[in-house]
Every structure is written in C-alpha cells, then in structure tokens.
C-alpha cells in the first residue's frame, strides 16, 4: 500500500500526538514535523524518527497532506498555504480564530475542491471520535434536552481566543451533530477572569423543533470535568468524555407498570485522536468520508459567534468595559 506522505505543522502540546500517531500509522509516512520553535521541533522529530523544518514552505511539495496543530491564531495563514498548494488538510479545532477567518478558509476550500474534487478538508473535532460519543451517535436516541459541562484549570495556552472558541466549540459541534436541527436562538452570559476574554461562559441554546441545551465552558476551574447529560422521550444518557463511559437509562413498560432500566453498552476504549487521524488518512485515499468537514466546523463557529455576541451584550449591559 502506498503510504500517505504527511507533515505535521505545530508539534506542541497536541501536535506531538499528531506526529506520534502519524509516525506509527500503517497508512501514513511522517515525512516531516514543522515548528517555529527549533528545540521543540528537533525534540519531536527525534522521537518520531523524522525531519524537522522551521517552515512549511520547505516541505509542502514533498507531502500529500498536512495536519495543522499550530496555535489557532495561525490557522488561517497556514490553512491557506496548505490549500493553495492543493494538499489535503486536517486542521485542529476551531477551524479559525473568528468567524470571518473561518469563512475565508471555508470559501478557499470550496474553491480548491471545485478544481480538485478529491481534495479533503477536515477539522479536528476530536470528541466526535470518542468511543462513548460514537456509541451515542450510532444509537437511536432522539434528544430533547442536553446539559454539557466542560471545565478545566487554566491552560496557560490557547489564550488568543476566548473559552467559547477554544473549549465550548467542542460541545457546540457535538450538539449540532446530535440534535440534527438548526439553532433557533442563543442566550449566554460569561465573564473574563484571568484573560481579557470571557473565561467562563454559560449558554442556553434553543433548536428548531423545540429542543434545548445548556452549555457551560470554563478554563478557570479547580479540576477537569467533561460531561454531557442528554434526555429524550423516556430515555437518559450520561456521557463522561475522559472516562469514555456512557450510562443509559430507559423507561420501559412492564406488566407491573413502567420501569426505568439501565441500558448498558460495552464500550471499547480507544484513543480518539488515533481514530480521527486514521479516518482522515482513509478519506484522503478515497476509502471513507468519516471526517468532520469544514462546513460542519464552520456551523459550530457560527453558533460560537452567536454565543460570543450574547456574552458581549450581557457584559455591556452589566457595565463591564470590553
């Protein structure tokens, strides 16, 4: 099998795992890692038995696809460079730092795709590949109400964007994929705590068709928690992302009357990033379409943008200076 030639651009906290998985994949050959930080680039190149470059331009013609895990503030610039070269692109979430930049990338991708129909553009919405999420998405659950909580201690990075684009975007994408409805309205409140941007935000989202979700994201919590509780007619599911656990309860009719019973699904734990990257490699070789598309990632950004505007309005109303 011809291996897909890969460069990983940005090998920091997350990108090192992109490089490790690409280097170990049967489907890929890690041709290079690219990082503006020489020491870091050399360290990860040595670990993955590959070559380090300080700029993508030096290596882009030698690869078929680029995985971008550079800071969000660089997504537009690097994404453009990859697409202009006609290479497949997997870019970390969020697609870009703001809606305008996301739109520019989406439009460029659509233009390039019209010239080269097999071009793949995927976005690293990792939670879609969490085995517990896969189990929920492939079940016949019809959600009516969801409560998502995603909080963590202050990360000291990804601070060029607020908690909505950096953290809440995971749940916004998941909720859109689970509810399969358009968003009707968004209300949100939030405050800056340690950065000039909102660091803790709570949003209430109404979907067309009458279902709702509340979403809380914080990067100023004492400990990590990433959970989703979801309610449908006569059913409930509680999903713990870190533990990859899905607990389901169902209301069933018995001769003795209605009973709530657990619906246990065995979930085989796996590494979501590995599943995401293997799916991307398959998409690049025309074997699968199991990717989070630029369109889907942009839809999540549109809702994130609505949340940001609602938070800004509530801060102004409360007399905060933005």
Ligand X SMILES: NC(=O)c1ccc[n+]([C@@H]2O[C@H](COP(=O)([O-])OP(=O)(O)OC[C@H]3O[C@@H](n4cnc5c(N)ncnc54)[C@H](O)[C@@H]3O)[C@@H](O)[C@H]2O)c1
* Interaction site with ligand X (CB under 6 A): 9-15, 34-37, 40, 69-72, 74, 92-93, 124, 126, 157-158, 166
In a 3-state reduction of DSSP, which class is residue 46? Answer: helix
Kindly tell me which of 37 and 225 has the beta carbon lying closer to ligand X: 37
Closer Cβ to ligand X, 15 or 102, answer by number: 15
Angle between helices 15-24 and 38-47 (to 10 degrees): 30
Instruction: Please say which residue, 38 or 182, places its beta carbon nearer to ligand X.
Output: 38
Tell me whether residue 42 or residue 315 sits nearer to ligand X (CB atom): 42
Work out how close the CB of 212 gets to ligand X at its nearest, in angstroms, rounded to a whole number: 25
Please state the closest distance from residue 247 (CB atom) to ligand X, in A. Answer: 23
- Residues in contact with 262: Cβ distance below 8 Å, sequence separation at least 6, in sequence order: 247, 248, 249, 250
11 or 108: CB nearest ligand X: 11
Cβ closest to ligand X, residue 40 vs residue 245: 40
In DSSP notation, 298-314 reads HHHHHHHHHHHHHHHHH
In whole angstroms, the minimum distance from the beta carbon of 321 to ligand X comes to 27
Q: How far apart are CA 47 and CA 26, in angstroms?
A: 18
- Least CB distance to ligand X at residue 230 (A): 20
Minimum separation from the CB atom of position 209 to ligand X (A): 29
Read off the tokens for 198. 């909102």
| Dist CA 43 CA 40 (whole Å) | 5
Burial class (CB in 10 A: 0-12, 13-18, 19+), 241: buried
CB 273 within 8 A of CB 244: no
Report the C-alpha gap between 107 and 122 in whole angstroms: 14
For the chain, how long is the longest CA-to-CA vector? 72
> Coil, strand or helix: which one is 24?
helix
In this structure, what DSSP letter does residue 10 have?
Answer: -
Burial 60-81, CB ≥16 within 10 A → b, else e: beebbbbbbbbbbebbbebbbb
CB of 233 to ligand X, least distance (A): 32
Give the shortest CB-35-to-ligand X separation in angstroms.
4
Q: CB of residue 68 vs ligand X: minimum separation in angstroms? A: 8
Cβ proximity to ligand X: between 34 and 183 the closer is: 34
Q: Which is nearer to ligand X, 64 or 92 (CB)?
A: 92
Between the alpha carbon of residue 119 and those of residues 68, 87, 148, 281, 285, the distances in Å are 16, 7, 34, 12, 10
Residue nearest to ligand X (CB): 12
């Amino acid at each position: 099998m011809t291996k897909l030639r890969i460069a990983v651009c940005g090998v920091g906290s997350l990108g090192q795992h992109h490089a490790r998985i690409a280097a170990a994949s049967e489907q890929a050959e890690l041709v290079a890692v690219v990082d503006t930080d020489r020491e870091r680039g050399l360290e990860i190149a040595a670990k993955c038995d590959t070559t380090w470059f300080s700029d993508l331009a030096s290596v882009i013609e030698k690869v078929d696809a680029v995985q971008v895990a550079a800071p969000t503030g660089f997504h537009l610039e690097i994404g453009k460079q990859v697409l202009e070269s006609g290479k497949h692109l997997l870019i970390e979430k969020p697609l870009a730092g703001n809606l305008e930049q996301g739109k520019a990338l989406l439009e460029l991708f659509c233009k390039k795709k019209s010239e080269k129909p097999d071009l793949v553009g995927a976005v690293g919405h990792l939670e879609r590949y969490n085995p517990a999420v896969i189990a929920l998405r492939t079940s016949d659950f019809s959600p009516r109400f969801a409560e998502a909580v995603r909080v963590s201690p202050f990360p000291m990075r990804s601070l060029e964007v607020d908690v909505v684009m950096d953290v809440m975007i995971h749940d916004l994408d998941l909720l859109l994929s689970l509810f399969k409805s358009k968003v009707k309205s968004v209300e949100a409140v939030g405050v800056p705590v340690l950065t000039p941007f909102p660091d803790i935000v709570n949003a209430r989202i109404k979907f067309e068709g009458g279902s709702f979700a509340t979403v809380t994201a914080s990067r100023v919590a004492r400990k990590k928690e990433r959970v989703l509780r979801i309610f449908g007619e006569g059913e409930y599911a509680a999903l713990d992302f870190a533990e990859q656990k899905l607990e389901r309860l169902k209301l069933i009719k018995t001769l003795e009357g209605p009973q709530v019973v657990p619906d246990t699904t065995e979930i085989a734990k796996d590494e979501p990033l590995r599943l995401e990257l293997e799916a991307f490699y398959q998409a690049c070789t025309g074997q699968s379409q199991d990717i989070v598309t630029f369109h889907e990632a942009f839809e999540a950004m549109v809702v994130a943008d609505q949340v940001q505007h609602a938070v800004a309005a509530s801060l102004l109303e409360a007399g905060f200076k933005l």
